[in-house]
């Protein structure tokens, strides 16, 4: 599925069209696409509101009729708009280019883990505050990063070795850093959602994703980590997709390894698919079937569609993945997906 892409106006006067380039307007200044569409809908039927660029402060308002765009430009350009927070908008005509922005496919994206009906999957929104988020980002940015092919990582407790997709339990890096202590103390809040397992964690991987960079479909190696697995999202949002294949997916001739994760061609396997929106400061928990039998995946997109809203990825997304290193082989009930039992 693709979104239309528009050309930015290059002069004070552009050729009249049914599309308007609107500056000082967008999510970054507190204006949702729905609100913008409602206000501009006063002048005619709006076909859609789209991000004009990655700034979040400029949008394209596309009308069905050119006359509606003319009326809106005349009424709103350069004038404070009370319905849009009193902001003065700067508007020019824009034209659609041939290219399209690629976004997630037609899969329905849920906002709550319960909607996915995946046993063992939980999500808490606003698990930390905005101030705590800022403090965590400052803390990790003061530490050295390790560069992978498309993203940067940090490891604490034990290093995840991407070449073997496992950890060396004899190489202990030390206790988890002090800056994650408030997070660990708060994990018991998942019991309010029905999770009853114990929480003892000794490994942390911090990932930094630039715009457009995601994560290939994979299950965290069974023999490397126990359950549960926690993932805290910071700085930017993303859509995470879950896939349950008809058989366990382990490296074969139809698969490749990318940054130590299994990347399936999807040409030979049938799978169930679910997707969920992970906003900044949310904490995801994978346990039971969700941890052992479902691949998780972040599409390599710069733009996602969530409940008919267009959400552009931020300049960075940072995730904290907290796990417990396993000692000995895995004895889980999901043998088809388990490297210890294959």
89, 76 Cβ separation under 8 angstroms: yes
- Encode pLDDT of 69-89 as tens digits: 999 999 999 988 888 888 899
**Of 57, 5, 61, 60, the residue nearest 27 (C-alpha):** 57
Question: Is domain 2-102 annotated with CATH 3.30.70.330?
Answer: yes
Report the run of H or E that residue 73 belongs to, with start and end: helix 66-76
Class of domain 109-337: mainly beta
What's the chain's average pLDDT? 84
Is residue 49 pLDDT above 90, yes or no? no
Q: Phi first, then psi: what are they for 257, rounded to 5°?
A: -110, 125
Q: Is the pTM of this model over 0.85?
A: no
Which of the pair, 104 or 147, is modelled with greater confidence?
147
Q: Answer whether residue 104 shows pLDDT above 60.
A: no
pLDDT at position 216: 86
- What does the pLDDT look like over 174-218, one tens digit per residue? 999 999 999 999 998 898 888 888 878 999 999 999 988 888 889
Token pair for 311: 């959400």
The ranges assigned to domains in the chain are 2-102, 109-337
Write down the pLDDT at residue 203: 97
**Which among 20-29, 189-198, 236-245 has the top mean pLDDT?**
236-245
- pLDDT tens per residue across span 263-313: 443 444 577 899 999 999 999 999 999 999 999 999 888 888 887 677 878
Kindly write down the DSSP assignment for every residue of 32-57, as one continuous string. Answer: -HHHHHHHHGGGS-EEEEEESSTTSS
Q: Residue 9: its pLDDT value, please?
A: 56
The per-residue DSSP string of 116-145 comes to GT-TTEEEETTSS-HHHHHHHHHHHHTS--
| Cβ neighbours of 212 (radius 10 Å) | 13
Structure confidence at residue 8 as a pLDDT band (50, 70, 90): low
């Amino acid at each position: 599925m693709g979104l239309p892409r528009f050309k930015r106006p290059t002069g004070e006067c552009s050729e009249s069209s049914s599309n308007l380039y609107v500056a000082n307007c967008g999510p970054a200044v507190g204006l949702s696409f729905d609100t913008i569409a409602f206000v501009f809908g006063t002048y005619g039927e709006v076909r859609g509101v789209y991000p004009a660029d990655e700034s979040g402060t400029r949008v394209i308002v596309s009308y069905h009729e050119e006359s509606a765009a003319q009326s809106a430009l005349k009424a709103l350009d350069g004038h404070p708009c009370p319905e849009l927070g009193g902001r003065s908008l700067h508007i020019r005509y824009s034209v659609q280019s041939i290219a399209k922005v690629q976004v997630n496919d037609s899969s329905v994206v849920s906002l709550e883990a319960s909607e996915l009906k995946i046993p063992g999957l939980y999500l808490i929104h606003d698990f930390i505050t905005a101030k705590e988020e800022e403090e965590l980002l400052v803390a990790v940015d003061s530490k050295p990063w390790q560069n992978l092919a498309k993203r940067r990582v940090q490891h604490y407790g034990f290093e995840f070795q991407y070449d073997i997709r496992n950890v060396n339990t004899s190489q202990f890096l030390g206790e988890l850093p002090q800056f994650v202590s408030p997070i660990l103390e708060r994990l018991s809040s998942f019991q309010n959602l029905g999770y009853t397992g114990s929480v003892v964690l000794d490994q942390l991987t911090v990932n930094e994703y630039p715009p457009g960079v995601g994560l290939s479909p994979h299950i965290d190696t069974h023999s490397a980590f126990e359950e549960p697995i926690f993932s805290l999202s910071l700085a930017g949002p993303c859509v995470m997709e879950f896939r349950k294949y008809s058989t366990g997916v382990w490296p074969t001739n139809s698969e490749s390894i990318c940054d130590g994760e299994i990347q399936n061609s999807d040409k030979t396997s049938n799978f169930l698919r679910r997707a969920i929106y992970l906003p900044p400061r949310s904490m995801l928990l994978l346990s039971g079937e969700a941890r052992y039998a479902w691949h998780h995946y972040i599409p390599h997109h710069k733009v996602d569609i969530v409940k008919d809203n267009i959400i552009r990825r931020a300049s960075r997304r940072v995730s904290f993945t907290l796990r417990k290193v396993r000692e000995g082989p895995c004895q889980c009930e999901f043998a088809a997906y388990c490297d210890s039992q294959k």
